[in-house]
Amino acid sequence: MYEYIQGILSQIHPTYLVVTASGLAYKIYSPNAYAWNRHLNEEVQVYLELVVREDSLTLYGFKDMQEKELFNLLNRVSNIGPKSALSILALNDHTGLVQAIESQNVTYLTKFPGVGKKTAQQMILDLQGKLGDFVANDGAELAPSQQASSSNQAQFDEVAEALAGLGYSQREIKAIAKPMALQSFASTQEALSFAFKLLVS
């Protein structure tokens, strides 16, 4: 129904964006909302997917058509709903996901929230051989820092809120607190990207 929305990115929340266009403010769930930080209060183009349920109409937004198509492929797998698909896509570099599916690495796939062994096996069955083009180019490793920033705790609180919104448990979030405290991040987006790498490693 919708291809994309073009408007002003007026708000960024842990799990969703607010884009204002033609006098309306659209709430758009995003795999990694903080990735849009540098565009706050600027005009953006967000690719949309409308998911219709009996009791809701929900917009999901993506940085490009490739990410949107990957979301739709994941969402069609049995037992993976939109929330699980977003959690899987939150790791910007999708190379690991593609490699895990192609190599039938169930252990890697079950590290995503909402993905158990049977669902991981179903992902492999449904998607193997279909994901060759879905390899992101923005997943560079973050370089370790020698000094932890004094703002790390505030950043971690934002990261923890975003991870909880994506379905990660408090136990999983607490487990990455110590290694994250040893790093320094230029932005919450960098901190969140590093957290995703820890969670799936």
pLDDT at 135: 58
pLDDT at 69: 92
pLDDT at 77: 94
Yes or no: say if 28 and 17 are a contact pair by the CB < 8 Å rule: yes
Phi, psi of 177 (to 5 degrees): -60, -45
**Cα 26–29–30 angle (5° rounding)?**
120
Residues of the chain with pLDDT under 70: 92-93, 134-152
Task: Give the Cα separation of 106 and 115 in Å (integer).
Answer: 10
Task: Give the Cα separation of 22 and 169 in Å (integer).
Answer: 38
- Contacts for 109-116 with beta carbons within 8 Å, 24 or more apart? 111/199, 111/200, 112/84, 112/87, 112/88, 112/200, 113/84, 113/87, 113/166, 113/167, 113/168, 113/169, 113/172, 114/80, 114/81, 114/83, 114/84, 114/87, 114/167, 115/80, 115/84, 115/88
